[in-house]
């Protein structure tokens, strides 16, 4: 099995943000980018930034399409935290489809339309997820789902299985976690001292406000805007952080690391060479149920064209 940090395709690329099961949105994005419905283009290739699945209408269909493109060498894909959760056997709000269950909002009559995965296909999906790298790189460009942290990336270079290495690091972190009674500090050690967690869900810090609920858990830590200190010359592209094309109408309950003055289409960091391509497509189905009167959605699926550095939205 190849290592978890791998070479990135050469040539022009289209870097696709978190799809979250939105097969119809992905097909619409393909059309706008000049790809055929199967994801083929005469001169460009696709890079998927992880979180292919959960919350959207057809996670199995997204997996089937992306897996075929990866097998044909027409696309690359990094693992996101949602794929990792399934590899670890963690049932979370949004991944009911994998376990053959339906997902509802707070109102039991508000059913999110999702295709369910037959249990006979679970092992095939896990095998595909387990084959994914955690980071891709070439001379001018880096790709990761959530956070390019150099120390974490370097530790991952000699590793081949994300879930295995995560569990190994959890064992190492157990002693310092048990050495403190501070629950927030425990959570920070568990997150920030595990390279697999860092690159798939980011660095975290203590949250100054009241606790909030995300992913079915009450949280007292929040995400770090790590790109504010990113000074490497290579550009870096990532997803994960629930941006919105209308920042003041952000849908996620997770406190935003971008601030109220966010310009979602501008590069980030002191060198203006960091780009976030997650535009909350995972909230698309929920938004449609909660605000059926609105024709234009805040959430969308985005791609960053490289080297053009242009966003395309669907």
In percent, the amount of the chain with pLDDT more than 90 equals: 78
Cβ atoms 239, 146 nearer than 8 A? yes
- Is 231 a residue whose pLDDT tops 80? yes
- Is 212 a residue whose pLDDT tops 90? no
Q: Is residue 306 part of a domain?
A: yes
Range of the domain at 107: 11-160+227-313
- Is 30 a residue whose pLDDT tops 90? yes
Whichever domain contains 84, its CATH number is 3.60.21.10
Q: State whether residue 104 is helix, strand or coil.
A: strand
* pLDDT tens-digit readout, 172-181: 999 999 999 9
HEC per residue, 285-312: HHHHHHCCCCCCCCCCCEEEEECCCEEE
What is the model's pLDDT at position 259? 74
Q: Is residue 103 part of a domain?
A: yes
What is the model's pLDDT at position 300? 95
Q: What is the CA radius of gyration of the chain?
A: 19
Q: Is residue 179 part of a domain?
A: no
Q: Is residue 134 part of a domain?
A: yes
Total domain count, the chain: 1
Higher local confidence (pLDDT), 285 or 265: 265
* pLDDT tens-digit readout, 97-135: 999 998 887 766 788 889 999 999 999 999 999 999 999
Confidence of residue 150 (pLDDT cuts 50, 70, 90): very high
What is the model's pLDDT at position 108? 67
Cβ atoms 107, 40 nearer than 8 A? no
Q: Is residue 61 part of a domain?
A: yes
What is the model's pLDDT at position 12? 98
Q: Is residue 280 part of a domain?
A: yes
* Alpha carbon separation from 28 to 64, 129, 135, 275 (Å, rounded): 17, 24, 26, 22
Average the pLDDT over 152-167 and give the result: 97
What is the model's pLDDT at position 199? 98
Both tokens assigned to 170? 């959890």
Mean pLDDT of the chain: 93
Q: Is residue 272 part of a domain?
A: yes
Q: Is residue 202 part of a domain?
A: no
Both tokens assigned to 302? 């985005």
- Is 66 a residue whose pLDDT tops 90? yes
Confidence of residue 258 (pLDDT cuts 50, 70, 90): confident
What is the model's pLDDT at position 254? 78
What is the model's pLDDT at position 21? 97
- Minimum mean pLDDT among 76-80, 119-123, 219-223: which range? 219-223
């Amino acid at each position: 099995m190849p290592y978890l940090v791998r070479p990135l395709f050469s040539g022009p690329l289209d870097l696709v943000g978190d799809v979250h099961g939105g097969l119809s949105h992905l097909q619409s994005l393909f059309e706008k980018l000049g790809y055929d419905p199967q994801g083929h283009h005469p001169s460009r290739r696709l890079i998927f930034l992880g979180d292919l699945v959960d919350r959207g209408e057809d996670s199995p269909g997204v997996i089937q399409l992306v897996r075929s493109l990866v097998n044909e060498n027409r696309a690359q894909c990094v693992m996101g935290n949602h794929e990792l959760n399934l590899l670890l056997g963690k049932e979370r709000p949004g991944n009911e489809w994998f376990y053959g269950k339906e997902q509802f909002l707070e109102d039991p009559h508000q059913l999110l339309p999702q295709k369910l995965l037959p249990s006979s296909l679970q092992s095939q999906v896990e095998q595909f997820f387990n084959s994914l790298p955690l980071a891709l790189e070439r001379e001018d460009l880096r790709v990761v789902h959530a956070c390019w942290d150099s120390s974490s990336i370097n530790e991952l270079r000699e590793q081949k299985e994300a879930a295995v290495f995560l569990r190994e690091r959890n064992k190492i972190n157990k002693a310092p976690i048990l050495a403190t009674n501070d629950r927030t500090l425990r959570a920070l050690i568990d997150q920030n001292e595990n390279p697999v967690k860092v690159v798939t869900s980011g660095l975290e810090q203590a949250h100054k406000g009241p606790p909030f609920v995300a992913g079915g858990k009450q949280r007292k830590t929040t995400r770090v805007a790590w790109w504010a200190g990113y000074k490497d010359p290579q550009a870096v592209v990532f997803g994960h952080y629930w941006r919105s094309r209308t920042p003041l109408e952000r849908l996620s309950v997770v406190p935003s690391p971008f601030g109220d003055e966010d310009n979602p289409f501008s590069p980030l960091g002191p060198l203006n060479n960091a780009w976030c391509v997650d535009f909350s497509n995972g909230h698309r189905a929920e938004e449609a149920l909660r605000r059926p009167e609105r024709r234009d959605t805040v959430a969308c699926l985005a791609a960053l064209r490289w080297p053009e550095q242009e966003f395309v939205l669907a």
